[in-house]
Structure 1
Amino acid sequence: MPNVSAKICGLSTPDTIDSAIAGGASHIGFVFFPPSPRNVGFEQAAALANRVPAAVRRVGVFVDPDDALIDSAIAAASLDILQLHKTAPDRIAAIRARLAREVWGALAVKTSADLAQAGTLAGAADRILYDAKTPDTAALPGGMGLRFDWNLLRGFRHPAPWALSGGLDAANVAEAIARTGATLVDVSSGVETAPGVKDPARIAAFLRAARAR
């Protein structure tokens, strides 16, 4: 079975950065979206990014961002990857072409009909992030602890490299990997004690569980 990598998303404190790195996270996510309780300012992101070794990828998480926000975040946190939510495929492609950086496009999933849209991201993004679809009235596009039916991904022909997100935690990540075949998993609320409050012990437990599947 292929090795599984893990991204810990929405980190905002030095101790949680250190826990993620010590536990073997492959990616660290910084959220640049003010309505989110996980949002970080540019100075804060810069200080946190300085704790991340070169071998760990720095991911900036955005919701349909403009160029100015992206450029400022890249300059502050030396981002390797951009993760884009609620962003049209043509806009994703334009951002990727302008910056020549790896770009992930998030696809909100609830039914098989949602998965059918994966093809629209395949030519625009380097990786598709399958995430649970939030209610239309939700203030945030993710990080709410929701999950979708992982069986939807059984036998699905992925049109591009992909990662799994949505409602993952230490108790279910092994099952999620077994059901879907994911080789990259992404967690946020599943390692928190409250919205935006990451717990080093939960981060460590999640990373152990992902490796031990």
Structure 2
Amino acid sequence: MSIIVKICGLKRPEPLEAALAGGADMVGFVFFEKSPRHLELAEARQLSEQVRGRAEKVALVVNADDSRIASVIEALAPDWLQLHGAETPERVAQIRATFGLPILKALGVAEQADFLCAPDYEAVSDRLLFDAKPPKDSVLPGGNGLSFDWTLLRNHARLATKKNWMLSGGLDSENVGAAIRLTGAPGVDVSSGVEDAPGEKSAAKILAFIAAARAAA
């Protein structure tokens, strides 16, 4: 099977080039000031040019208002909007209708009950991203380097025939193959798992992750 590989939280040209040269399908940019991966709009404009035509650009926002989203879109010209906050299905639908971009909606998972809301979000999103729920005291909704029990996805039988979801949370080059084989994920997303320190991406780790994901698929 083919698999979608997304490298998220890119901030500098060199790691971004590694992701592009390595064949990542999607590259993500974080617009959330509390994150060590936060990108300023001026920087986004520069990186956007580097990506042009080589991969899909994803703009990650967290509980952003329309004005903020519009500013991000103007700077990055993304192919996707990733909503990684507590956006309700109604808010997701409104953002999708207002901006006319495909939506990647992140859902935090810690137990089987966390999948109960998935159909509501599936109805208004173009793709779901299942991520580990952050610790209660965390200021970051993702990128915490935590994984969840992947068998929960395997037990969520309706996903087996779906191609509109991705797996995230605690992935790296050492475990992504096992995660793909266990869950049958049609796509994987990594951020902290390809870093030397929070927000500091490693070109070598990015290339290793992409290679491991492709090998598993």
- If the TM-score is normalised by the length of the shorter chain, which range does it land in? over 0.9
d(CA) in 2 for partners of 1:70 and 1:58? 14
Which consecutive unaligned segments of at least 5 residues does structure 2 have? none
CA contact (8 A) 1:45 1:76 kept: yes
Q: Which amino acid in the other structure matches residue 106 of structure 1?
A: A
Measured in 1, the distance between the counterparts of 2:52 and 2:40 equals 20
Structural RMSD (CA): 1.1
Aligned to 1:211: 214
Deviation at 1:183, TM superposition (A): 1.4
Shift of 1:54: 1.5
Q: Which residue of 2 aligns with 1:10?
A: 9
AA at the equivalent of 2:209: F
Match of 1:41 in 2: 40
Give distance in 2, aligned partners of 1:105 and 1:4.
18
Q: Pick from 127, 148, 170 the counterpart of residue 167 of structure 1.
A: 170
Cα separation, 2, equivalents of 1:104 and 1:93: 12
Contact 1:126 1:160 in 2 (8 A): no
Partner Cα separation in structure 2 for residue 105 and residue 9 of structure 1 = 14
**Which structure 1 segments of 5+ residues have no match?**
none
Question: Would the aligned equivalents of 2:20 and 2:54 in 1 still touch at CA under 8 Å?
Answer: no
Aligned to 2:28: 29
Aligned pairs for 1:113-124 (under 5 A) are 113-124=113-124
Which digits, 9 at most, give the CA deviation of each residue in 1:96-118, with x for residues without a partner? 01111100111100000001221
Structure 2 length-normalised TM? 0.95
Taking the aligned partners of 2:137 and 2:119, their CA distance within structure 1 comes to 26
Give the aligned partner of residue 89 of structure 1.
Answer: 89
Give distance in 2, aligned partners of 1:85 and 1:53.
Answer: 24
Deviations 1:77-109 (A, max 9, x none): 111100001211110110001111100111100
| SS of residue matched to 1:50 | helix
1:32-85 Cα shifts (integer Å, max 9, x gaps): 000000000000011011100324100000111111111111110111100001
Name the CA shift for 1:209/1:160 in 2 (closer, same or farther; >3 Å).
Answer: closer
**Contact 1:92 / 1:125 at 8 angstroms: preserved in 2?**
yes
Deviation at 1:155, TM superposition (A): 4.2
CA contact (8 A) 1:9 1:187 kept: yes
State the distance in 1 between where 2:5 and 2:163 align: 18
The Cα offsets for residues 149-170 of structure 1, whole Å up to 9 and x where unpaired, read as 0111114213771011000000
How many positions carry a matched residue from both structures? 212
CA distance in 2, matches of 1:55, 1:193: 25
Q: Judge which range, 30-39 or 155-164, deviates more.
A: 155-164
Output the amino acid matched with 2:3: V
User: For residue 142 of structure 1, what is the aligned residue in structure 2?
Assistant: 142
How far apart in 2 are the matches of 1:132 and 1:122?
18
Q: Judge conservation of contact 1:133–1:141 (CA < 8 Å) in 2.
A: yes
The one-letter amino acid paired with 1:169 is D
- Letter of the 1:173 counterpart: V
